[in-house]
Amino acid sequence: MGDQQFFLKWNDFQTNMVTSFRHLRDEKSFTDVTLACEGQTCKAHKMVLSACSPYFKSLLEENPSKHPIIILKDVSYLHLQAILEFMYAGEVNVSQEQLPAFLKTAARLKVKGLAEPPPQMPSIKREV
Amino acid sequence: MGSSEGQQTFCLKWNHHKTNLVEILEALIKVETYVDCTLVVDDQVTFKAHRVVLAANSPYFQSILADVPMDHCSILFPGVKDFEMRALLEYMYTGEVNVTQAHIPHIMKVAEQLEVKGLFDMTELRRRPGSADRIQPASPPRVVPAAPSSISPPVPAPPSRWPPPPAAPVLSAAYDSTDMNPLKRKKLSSMLATRDTPILRNVLAQTTPVDSSQPISLVCHPVNQHAPPRLHSNGSAHESERASSPQRPFDYRPRRLSSRASSPHFNRSDRSEDAHSPYTERSFEEDNHRNFHPSPPPANFQQDVRAGLAPYVPPQQKPEWKRYKQYTRSDILSAIECVRNGMSALQASRKYGVPSRTLYDKVKKLGITTSRPMSRGVKREPNGAAFPYGLSGTGGGDDGNSSGPLIDPSFLQQALEGATRDGGREALHAMALAAAAHAALAPRTPPRSPPQSPRSPLPDDDHVEDLSVSRRRDHEPPTGVIVPPRNFALDCGSERD
């Protein structure tokens, strides 16, 4: 009688996760890593960075610090913000002239969905 | 003498402070003590550092590290090579670093990103609109100077002060320019105040033989009525520990221990214009005796005063003007008589509670030979010229006093040995002591002008190296300003004849 299992699923789980993380980032709550480039910094969560980028994952694994500061070389702050936006929201708007440089940076940082198997993965929608 | 009651403040200044700070930081990083951040570059190479040094050398670090709450933080530099970080760290800690030509572009690039001061400033220039197009990376106006093996900060970046260049050349170079206006000169003096010279170190070492009874640290001199003291203190705190060895690494011996001249001890109103000799210890002592012990003091009191110290003046003491007339004419006459009979003037002044300087003056005018060569030697010349090296509490100068020329130890020696006439001997002795004392305190402070005289451009010309009358005259300022050293030179010459 007691071994019947129930499948509980929250349909909004993913949306909730996304909005929650985004919210946490906006509030800078529980941020545990600081990214810096071009003299500016933004805070983020190691978990999100690690989940979205093997580059950050290995970097953070190698340096198990409570709150590391990562100073990124040759990354424009604009691109960094866009990449973080992409990591947290799964989408971002990038202007066309910025796009090549942005993708290049994303490739360097091995951002999942932007980097790996070249072009077809992210569907680049043109917004006018 | 505005506030006379107890508001005496001292400027405690240690001219080694900056260099010490830098040296200590460098020493600390070598042993990785107190480090509070780890820098990680490629290949997991790590460097320990002090956040405060990073922040001091880079506005970038400053902003990044401003809100880092952790006790120890890690800073990761993906893409930065270890040699780059090593070079930059060395640069940030010492102000210089030797790098190979091949590494320069890499290091400069990282320095630019990290906004390392000195290096970053130049890259800013390169980045300027308009110049960016014209100046290619390999073009001559590169940041890096010709010397292939070193990057030196091209602009006066803070760390470039270290290690301090020997000051002697600086001094002479600075003094050679005869057209320095007072403003410039002030700047110069403040600049010099941060440097140490071998010459002055020698003088410090020489003070002991000249007057072995006076530990350096005990000597204070009143100064700078107008200059804002950098540090206010009641002055007594670190006195005794400074006494022993001036060259200890952590010796916080004050280079200048000056008081706002409101102190009663330094404003001897019977002599207000040449009131304070740099050689204040004795006067202080005497004042104490006079103040607290109208009758001959307990034997140990002097000892106490001498050992412990204190240019610190208890605030509740009466100001000088309220007590300097505590003797009567018969006192002074009795004192003079005692001196005539062989007592030293100092003893006599204590016995009768008269100001020793007044007594000296009177005794001197009467032509009495004092039995002890000297106690306080600041004397007034018959022609009324103030002894130029007396520090004046009312003087307009704001940068120390004028014992510069006396700093030459050989002169001191000569003065002590060569002078035979009583008057001259006394005066010279006093000068020597004053100079020694002063040298210990403010070796680099340029002489001050006599009260009311305009500041001369170069009264301190070559004082540090020599005391030569002819030389002094060679450097007579063209304006005809009366320069105290000249007075001194003349006095001295006449006395040594």
Is B79 in Cβ contact with A73 (below 8 Å)?
yes
Structure tokens at B420: 């035979």
Nearest CA in chain A to B76: A70
Residue B412: predicted pLDDT: 47
Encoded amino acid at B110, one letter = V
- Cα torsion B329, B335, B337, B343 to 10°: value is -170
d(C-alpha A64, C-alpha B30), whole Å: 24
H or E, element range at B239: helix B239-242
The token pair at B419 is 């002078």
Are A71 and B113 in contact (CB < 8 Å)? yes
Q: What is the pLDDT of residues B387-420, one digit of tens each?
A: 444 344 444 444 444 444 444 455 445 544 544 4
Which chain B residues are within 8 Å of A74, Cβ to Cβ?
79, 113
Alpha-carbon distance A3 to B51, whole Å?
59
Q: pLDDT grade, residue A93 (50/70/90)?
A: very high
- Confidence bin at A7 (pLDDT 50/70/90): very high
pLDDT at B94 over 50: yes
Compute the nearest-CA separation of B60 from chain A (Å).
5
CA angle B242, B246, B252 (to 5 degrees): 50
The mean pLDDT value of chain A amounts to: 86
- Nearest alpha-carbon partner for B464 in B146, B198, B286: B198
pLDDT digits (tens, 9 = 90+) for B443-482: 444 444 444 444 444 444 444 444 444 444 444 444 444 4
Rounded CA-CA distance B240/B451 in Å is: 33
* H or E stretch at B190: helix B182-192
B108-117, B258-267, B294-303 — which is least confidently predicted?
A: B258-267
CA proximity to B427, closest of B381, B385, B467: B381
CA distance A23 to chain B (A): 21
Taking residues B114-136, what's their average pLDDT?
57
* Residues in contact with B66: Cβ distance below 8 Å, sequence separation at least 6, in sequence order: B55
Predicted pLDDT of residue B112? 86
Is residue B401 within 8 Å of B221, Cβ to Cβ? yes
Alpha-carbon distance of A33 to A43, in angstroms, equals: 6
Extract long-range pairs of B303-307: CB within 8 Å, 24+ residues apart: B306/B213, B306/B218, B306/B281, B307/B240
The per-residue pLDDT for B440 is: 56
Contacting residues of A for B69, CB less than 8 Å apart: 67
pLDDT band at A102 (very low <50, low <70, confident <90, very high): very high
What pLDDT is stored for residue B129 in this prediction? 44
Contacts of B66 in chain A (CB under 8 A): none
Q: Cβ distance B89 to A61 under 8 Å?
A: no
Interchain proximity A69–B76, CB inside 8 Å: yes
B3 CB-contact burial (10 Å; exposed 0-12 / middle 13-18 / buried 19+): exposed
* Residue B438 confidence (pLDDT): 56
Residue B83: C-alpha distances to residues B41, B143, B234, B421 (Å): 10, 19, 49, 70
Distance CA B399, CA B408 (A): 20
- Residues B150-157: what's their mean pLDDT? 41
Q: What is the pLDDT of residue B121?
A: 67
Using alpha carbons, list the distances in angstroms from residue B442 to B196, B232, B258, B457: 11, 17, 9, 19
Our CA-based measurement puts residue A71 at a distance from the nearest CA of chain B, in whole angstroms, of 5
pLDDT digits (tens, 9 = 90+) for B45-87: 899 999 999 999 998 888 888 877 777 888 889 889 899 999 9
- Hey, of B76, B82, B110, which one would you mutate to test binding to chain A, going by the most A CBs within 10 A of its CB? B76
Put simply, the answer to whether A69 touches B64 (Cβ < 8 Å) is yes
- The answer, for B341 touching chain A at a CB cutoff of 8 Å, is no
Using CB atoms and an 8 Å cut-off, which of residues 32-91 of chain A contact chain B?
Answer: 34, 36, 38-41, 55, 59, 62-63, 65-74
**Counting beta carbons within 10 angstroms of the beta carbon of residue B472, is it exposed (0 to 12), middle (13 to 18) or buried (19 or more)?**
buried
- The band of B354, judged by pLDDT with boundaries at 50, 70 and 90, is confident
Instruction: Give percent of chain A above pLDDT 90.
Output: 47
SS3 B46: strand
pTM of the model as a whole: 0.42
Across the interface, whether the CB atoms of A63 and B79 are under 8 A apart is answered no
Chain A: residue whose CA lies nearest to B114: A39
Distances (CA, A) of B55 to B50, B61, B72, B116: 9, 5, 15, 9
Any chain A CB within 8 A of the CB of B314? Answer: no
Which amino acid is it at B140? Answer: P
Per-residue model confidence as pLDDT tens digits over B202-242:
434 443 344 444 333 333 444 444 444 444 444 443 444 44
Q: What is the DSSP string of B148-182?
A: TTEE--SS--GGGG-SPPPHHHHHHHHHH-TT--H
- Please determine, for residue B292, whether its predicted confidence score (pLDDT) is greater than 50: no
Cβ separation A71–B40 shorter than 8 A: no
Terminus-to-terminus CA distance in chain A, angstroms? Answer: 59
Q: Which residues of B77-88 are buried (b: 16+ CB within 10 A; e: fewer)?
A: bbbbbbbbbbbb
Percentage with pLDDT > 70 across chain B: 32
How far is Cα B63 from Cα B431, in angstroms, rounded to an integer? 54
Q: Between chains, do B59 and A39 touch, taking CB under 8 Å as contact? A: yes
Which band of pLDDT confidence, cut at 50, 70 and 90, is reported for residue A46? Answer: very high
With an 8 Å Cβ cutoff, are A63 and B74 in contact? yes
Of residues B73, B110, B114, nearest to A65 (C-beta): B73
Q: What is the pLDDT of residue A111?
A: 92
Find the helix packing angle between A77-89 and A13-27, rounded to 10°: 150
Say whether residue B114 is in contact with chain A using an 8 A CB cutoff. yes
User: Which has the higher per-residue pLDDT, B361 or B136?
Assistant: B361
CA distances (Å), A126 to each of A86, A90, A114, in order? 16, 16, 16
Within 10 A of B66 (CB to CB), how many other CB atoms are there? 10
- What are the chain B neighbours of A70 within 8 Å (beta carbons)? 75-76, 78
Rounded Cα distance, B450 and B484, in Å = 6
CB B289 within 8 A of CB B326: no
Q: What is the pLDDT of residue B79?
A: 87
Distance to chain B for A125, nearest Cα, Å: 32
How does strand A40-44 pair with strand A33-37?
Answer: antiparallel
Which amino acid belongs to residue B241? Answer: E
Average pLDDT, chain B: 57
Residue B37, beta-bridge partner list: B49, B73
Q: What is the pLDDT of residues A68-86, one digit of tens each?
A: 889 998 899 999 999 999 9
Predicted pLDDT of residue B430: 56
Q: Do B64 and A62 touch (CB under 8 A)?
A: no
* Cβ-based contacts of A36 with chain B (< 8 Å): 60, 64
Q: State the residue for tokens 């690039």.
A: B109
Provide mean pLDDT across the span A38-57: 90
Q: Rounded to the nearest 10 degrees, what angle do helices B422-441 and B356-365 cross at?
A: 150
Number of C-beta neighbours around residue B461 at 10 A = 27
Closest-CA residue of B relative to A64 is B74
Which whole number is the average pLDDT over B9-35? Answer: 89
pLDDT of residue B333: 82
- A63 closest CB neighbour out of B40, B64, B68: B40
Q: What are the tokens at B465?
A: 């190296």
Chain A residue with the nearest C-alpha to that of B81: A73
3-class DSSP assignment, residue B364: helix
Q: Are B460 and B446 in contact (CB under 8 A)?
A: yes
Mean pLDDT (whole number) for B429-442? 57
- Choose the most confident range, by mean pLDDT, from B13-22, B168-177, B193-202: B13-22
The alpha-carbon gap from B38 to the nearest alpha carbon of chain A, in Å, equals 9
Interface touch A73/B76, C-beta < 8 Å: no
CB distance A65–B115 less than 8 Å? no
Those residues with Cβ within 8 angstroms of residue A21's Cβ, 6 or more apart along the chain or in another chain? A45, A48, A88
Supply the pLDDT for residue B425.
Answer: 55
CB atoms within 10 A of CB A90: 13
Instruction: Tell me how many residue pairs between chain A and chain B have CB atoms under 8 A apart.
Output: 62
